[in-house]
Amino acid sequence: MKLIRRQNADLWNWSPVDQLSTLREEINRLFDSPFGELTRRMELFNGWAPPLDLYEDKDNLVVKAELPGMKREEIEISVHDGTLTISGERKYEEKSQDAEPYRSERFFGRFHRTLALTKPVQPDKAKATYKDGILTVVLPKTEEAKPKQIQVNVS
Amino acid sequence: MTTIAHTENRAGQTNNVSANERGYFVPKVNIVETKDSFILEAEMPGVTKEGLEVRLEGNELSIVGGRETGVPGAEPVYRESSPRDFRREFVLDPSIDTAKLSATIEQGVLTLTLPKTEKVKPRKIQVTD
């Protein structure tokens, strides 16, 4: 992987165009990323795909999404047929009238992610919070999906 | 390292492999230049004010964001995010007044304002009679 990157580096160097330089960097990042980040890097071709994590404890499924720099009202969450959908739009805010872009790596615009939930949940009891650019959705499992302890009486 | 420079070479030189190889996640940044300053935004989801470190050594600026990941008491089932801390380094142009840097972090986006020295700011000269 590293070898390919270095060989290609010179090919890219000829262009003074900012966009190509960004593309080159994305490609470098793709090759330098550990395997777990590869899915995330696919956003280079598919648009913005914020990374999602799914956790489970005794009572809940917890989904976390990295959505830095959004407003609460720009995020939509829905649960339908055992699938969680998180979508929204991050709008570009003009810094000032005379601002010239120098480096642009951040994505702006719409995103749409769906995640199959591994356990049945109660959508009406779901709670979502947005803090430090992380969306956390807590989905309580249905009573049937919760682990039960069965008392065994030994007589 | 990413160069923030007030020069013709706008593409700058980029080499973030070092931060990556040392086990950090390289945050995405946007940089704009206005007539008074450079404004840098870095995506660091999960980083609070307390977890953030902005360090300046000579003309080298480094931003480090430590974060807590995971959900206490819960098991990960599926994971796409990186558990690594963020780090990225920049070389600042001499036109930047390093004494006047300011930083804020809001909803996981760090905003750094790097004002230019008075000398390089464009100035309007009044014509007097």
Q: Do A19 and A81 lie in a common domain?
A: no
CATH code where residue A121 lies: 2.60.40.790
Cβ B109–A69 below 8 Å, yes or no?
A: yes
Residues A72 and A27 in one domain: no
- How many Cβ contacts (< 8 angstroms) between chains A and B? 141
Which CA distances in Å does A110 have to A86, A131, B46?
11, 20, 21
A55 and A39 share one domain: no
The label of the residue with tokens 């004010």 reads B49
CB within 8 A of A139, min separation 6: which ones? A60, A61, A62, A63, A79, A84, A117, A121, A122, A123, A125, A126
* A81 has a pLDDT exceeding 60: yes
Is pLDDT at A5 greater than 70 in this prediction?
no
Within a domain: A126: yes
A85 and A25, same domain (yes or no): no
The 10 Å Cβ neighbour count of residue B78 is: 13
Q: Do A29 and A58 sit in the same domain of this protein?
A: no
Domain enclosing residue A31, as ranges: 1-46
Is A100 a domain residue? no
Question: Is the pLDDT score of A47 beyond 90?
Answer: no
Shared domain check, A123 and A87: yes
Check residue A130 and give its pLDDT. Answer: 97
pLDDT given for residue B128 in this prediction: 84
**Residue contact B2–A69, C-beta within 8 A:** no
Both A86 and A40 in one domain: the answer is no
Question: Is residue A18 in some structural domain?
Answer: yes
| Global pTM value | 0.76
Do A12 and A38 share a domain, yes or no? yes
Could A54 and B81 be called an inter-chain contact, meaning their C-beta atoms sit closer than 8 Å? no
Instruction: Give chain A's domain count.
Output: 2
pLDDT in tens, B26-83: 999 999 999 899 999 999 999 999 999 999 998 899 999 999 999 999 999 999 999 9
The pLDDT value given to residue A12: 41
* Same-domain check for residues A111 and A36: no
> What's the gap in Å between the CA of B10 and the closest CA on chain A?
7
| CB-CB contact of B81 with B69 (8 Å) | yes
A76 plus A110 within the same structural domain? yes
Indicate yes or no: CB of A29 within 8 angstroms of CB of B106.
no
State how far residue B73 is from chain A, nearest Cα, in angstroms. 7
A32/B71 touch (CB, cutoff 8 Å), yes or no: no
Q: A80 and A115: one domain? A: yes
For residues B91 and B114, give the distance between their C-alpha atoms in angstroms, rounded to a whole number.
12
Q: Is residue A25 included in any domain, yes or no? A: yes
Three-class SS of A8-20: HHHHHHCCCCHHH
Where are the domains positioned within chain B?
Answer: 2-70+79-118
- Interface confidence, given as ipTM, is 0.82
**pLDDT reported for residue A71:** 94
- Give the distance from residue B39's alpha carbon to the nearest chain A alpha carbon, in angstroms: 8
**Residues in CB range of B80: below 8 A, 6 or more apart:** A36, A39, A40, A51, A52, A53
Instruction: Select from 1.20.140.10, 3.50.50.60, 2.60.40.790, 1.10.1040.10 the CATH code of B2-70+79-118.
Output: 2.60.40.790
Q: What's the pLDDT tens digit per position in B65-80?
A: 999 999 999 999 999 9
Q: What is the CA radius of gyration of chain B?
A: 18
> What is the pLDDT, as a whole number, of residue A84?
96
Predicted pLDDT of residue B129: 80
User: Residues 6 or more apart from A123 whose CB is under 8 A from it?
Assistant: A79, A139
Mean pLDDT of A137-152: 88
Residues of B in contact with A131 (CB under 8 A): 107
Output the average pLDDT for chain A. 79
Contact list in B for residue A46 (CB cut-off 8 A) is none
Kindly state whether residues A4 and A68 are assigned to the same domain. Answer: no
B108/A53 touch (CB, cutoff 8 Å), yes or no = no
